[in-house]
Amino acid sequence: MKIWFSHGKDGSPSGDKIQLLAKIAAERGWRCDSIDYRGMEDPRDRVKKLLVELRQAGEPVTLVGSSLGGHVAATASKDVECLGLFLLAPAFYYPGYEEYTPAPNARHIEIIHGWNDDVIPVDNSVRWAREHAAVLHIVNGGHRLDENLQDLAILFAAFLRKIENLAGSAP
């Protein structure tokens, strides 16, 4: 099975969180890819780029996204067979872009958001999780979740086990 990572607005495909999560996934036998959106400001362009990659892969996917990457992953999930979404402080209901907040299509969704996020209010994830029956983990951290890497590692490993069980096999 394969995981596709989508970084945030000012992030990179090789950021610390992506590297950490990719290592955990690889240790469990998952294949990983991280899309490079640098220089692409419009979320719609990012979604199009991700969908091209996903359609070429031609298999069920698991998507991971951070901030704007969470928005991109959730939006793309509507157009592919998506087993799981793992979203870190996703940019939902962002002022001025509320109407673009996606409705996902995934078998299992988990969100991790920091109580002290000064970019995307945690209440946005509470609202979205309620509307889409997503599992929500709220941690004592900020938008980048840098102080929560150990929590992310534990939660992500548990998420992968859930996806493997849903798929009925190990990767």
CA distance 39 to 50: 15
Alpha helices (H) along 11-169: 16-27, 43-57, 68-76, 122-132, 149-167
Among left, alpha and beta (phi > 0; psi -120 to 50; other), residue 18 is: alpha
Question: Is the CB of residue 72 less than 8 Å from the CB of residue 13?
Answer: no
Q: Report in angstroms the alpha-carbon separations of 171 from 29, 62, 137, 165.
A: 6, 11, 25, 10
CA torsion through residues 113, 114, 120, 124, sign:
positive
The 10s digit of each residue's pLDDT in 34-91 is 999 999 988 899 999 999 999 998 889 999 999 999 999 999 999 999 999 999 999 9
β-pair partners for 147? none
pLDDT at res. 72: 95
β-pair partners for 109? 85
More confident residue, 100 or 69: 69
pTM of the model: 0.95
Classify domain 2-167 at the CATH topology level: Rossmann fold (3.40.50)
pLDDT at res. 169: 62
CA torsion through residues 15, 169, 28, 32, sign:
negative
Residues 103-123: what's their mean pLDDT? 97
Each domain of the chain, given as residue ranges in start order, spans 2-167
